[in-house]
Chain A
């Protein structure tokens, strides 16, 4: 057994934290995008768009930085992941481009066709991004065929199996629920009431998908539970996850939208933790020979010198980033109203 608490482990932890930050923060942006078209009036759409207005751009940077962290710390993983998931990643990139531009351009012209075009692109792009991320995660749980040079040996069709789509739909449901709760927290009046109607179906959909995916995972990919069997202490994450999910409708019932949102964040963090624990120490599991060919955080990492430098960069940079990110969220706190600074 290799020594676990190493530089590799700690950098992997930082990577997972970055990814969790992205899922929590950009998760609600994507959610808002996914159900954007359900709202029919232009004013409501603008209100929803403006709940994420000042922050979505910074939220996306979490993904960019997570990508950089992966490239730097685990270049082999980054290389195999990107080249194996070529088409999903290209679609993801197209989604990110369209989303950014749609948010920026939509409200700049008054014509109905102009706004509808960007609304469709915004919503479609958000859906594609969420689905794509889920598809990649589903494949990482199941594993992909690798050779002994860490190269992907399958083709695109291998990535399109039902389980990956199941995880994709779970992510869509998760982000939708997260987004509805976020809009609930950031709005008042008629839109707030509407979100209260939407939030229950969103929660029910998520819980159904969550339960079904969990059962499917345990039946078909029992290796995801190995680590927990080995160290039952990790069950705490599953327990916290349940508590967080159960707490969401309770807080909403009591009109405590902020706390409901925090529970939703907690839910995402627990899900990411369970994913990380389940796949560890593999980052990319080799479906053809998991024992021998899987890419772990040990056999795919950069040199310890580089990992040291990266830790230093993170130690200097991340506290500063967190400080001003919190400050910015604080400045834009409170309910959103349309004014002249809005999208």
Chain B
């Protein structure tokens, strides 16, 4: 295999593994602010214990998120040196801003969040929780601004020629508010809220099914369901915004997402089908006439560009983009289903007896995770062959001095390390969930933090 494909696999693998964790941190961060906020307002100890329990979960996801995130930062330079030279002037400032505004904030106040329960006043602790949540959100802002710039470059000009060419910034705010950054940022952040909310839904449902920690589970579930309901509705609007943005700014990505091979007026929306790039058609399709044109441009007869506009070698992998995009949409439908049925049973007062629904809710932790992964695959693979849309090809962005053996070696290393890490993460997460929140009768001044940082030997 050549360097290009190995480097792409490595980037895809490390970013996908990394991306399990930051959405959890962002989503849990928001939930922690709400939980501790309820405690601050009502003084109800139950919410205090709840915040402490979810803080433990937050700590584990955060640690792995940071560790795997550093890899991403340096991978730009190790594997994609030419890309780094090309975009550094534009992309780098967003990354530097992320370090200064987001990471310091997050890691600094996390210390107070974890170790500060007994050292600082509840108000200052709540302030720290808000800062950690803000930091997590800030980090999303800058990295998505940078990624959106790769989708829809703006506020730059090209300096130099040939090998020495690079993008230089001309207008910082035009770069930050490039055509796709706002809608993609909102779409991603709300997806992260869903990720956090469905983790809480899942763990709460597990306790309800096992009939343990009932009050805790019901209270957690209430908060998580509200966040999930709001987010899932918001996501309908934001997803639509994002898709229309893609239609306008990256027509070839839309064509791959929807399996449109020929430019056409009044394009249909394919619900199901198997895209086949060999024959340039979608097999076994079930389609609704004119709907794609309407959804994309709010006009039944609008023209939708097809892949025939660009040479065959520049087509994205239509099968992959088409399928992952649909999987993401399916996940949204499943999430709506979970929220709606849980809500309905809750109102009827029969949620605790609905074993099937509770089991479905336990599994639901995977839905936003799968949606996150597939959505990003569609977004990134849909940009093929460009690393920066219409400016720099993926094949041109590689490191010139790096060999295939080196990339393969590090890929094997990351695969091993991440597999080990993932198993450890699942083990520890599982232990924590089984251990559960501390019940009030066991409460001592220090109790809530025992298994968080003290270890079982300390209990």
Contact = CB atoms under 8 A, between A and B. Distances in A.
A71 B84 contact: yes
Interface string B67-78: 111110110111
B303 interface: no
A57 B169 CA distance: 32
A138 interface: no
Interface string B418-449: 00010010001001000000000000001101
Interface in A72-123: 72-76, 78-84, 86-87, 89-90, 93-94, 96-98, 100-101, 103-105, 107-110
B360 interface: no
B170 interface: yes
Contacts of B172: 305, 309
Contacts, number: 256
Interface string B89-128: 1111101111111011101111110111111100000000
B349 interface: no
A79 to B, nearest CB: 4
Interface in B214-255: none
A314 interface: yes
B300 interface: no
B168 A101 contact: no
Contact of B96 (A84, A90, A310, A343): A310
Nearest to A146: B401
Nearest to B131: A324
B457 interface: yes
B109 A341 contact: no
A54 B70 CA distance: 19
A159 to B, nearest CB: 12
Given A58-B107, A317-B101, A332-B111, A100 B67 contact: yes
B107 A61 contact: yes
B70 A96 contact: yes
Given A76-B88, A302-B88, A61 B103 contact: yes
Chain B: number of interface residues, binned into ranges: 35 or more
16 contacts: A61-B104, A67-B99, A68-B95, A71-B91, A74-B88, A82-B77, A86-B399, A97-B417, A103-B63, A109-B431, A156-B406, A306-B93, A314-B100, A317-B101, A339-B118, A340-B447
Nearest to A302: B89
Q: Which of B108, B417, B431 has the most CB of A within 10 A?
A: B108
Interface residues of A, number: 73
Contact of A104 (B60, B74, B77, B92): B60
Contact of B406 (A86, A96, A332, A338): A86
Given A83-B399, A90-B410, A109-B455, A341 B97 contact: no
Interface stretch (A147-155, A176-184, A229-237): A147-155
B108 A328 contact: yes
B125 to A, nearest CB: 11
A292 interface: no
Q: Which of A61, A63, A152, A332 has the most CB of B within 10 A?
A: A61
Contacts of A84: 401
A39 interface: no
Contact of A64 (B64, B84, B103, B454): B103
B231 to A, nearest CB: 28
Contacts of B110: 57-58
Q: Which of B76, B406, B458 has the most CB of A within 10 A?
A: B458
B64 A75 contact: no
A1 interface: no
A96 B163 contact: no
Contacts of A76: 85, 88
Nearest to B120: A331
B456 interface: yes
Interface in A290-343: 302-303, 305-306, 309-310, 313-314, 317-318, 321, 324-325, 328, 331-332, 338-343
Given A100-B63, A110-B457, A68 B81 contact: no
Interface in B120-174: 120, 159, 163, 166, 168-170, 172
B96 to A, nearest CB: 4
B399 A67 contact: no
Given A328-B108, A340-B449, A341-B117, A67 B74 contact: yes
B78 A72 contact: no
B159 to A, nearest CB: 7
B70 A65 contact: no
A30 to B, nearest CB: 15
B104 A65 contact: yes
A188 interface: no
A134 B412 CA distance: 25
A47 interface: no
B63 A104 contact: yes
A325 B108 contact: yes
B430 to A, nearest CB: 12
Nearest to B446: A340
Contact of B70 (A93, A314, A317): A93
Given A97-B71, A306-B169, A331-B119, A79 B100 contact: no
A240 B424 CA distance: 47
Contacts of B92: 68, 71-73, 75, 78, 302, 306
A55 interface: yes
B168 A306 contact: yes
A342 B89 contact: no
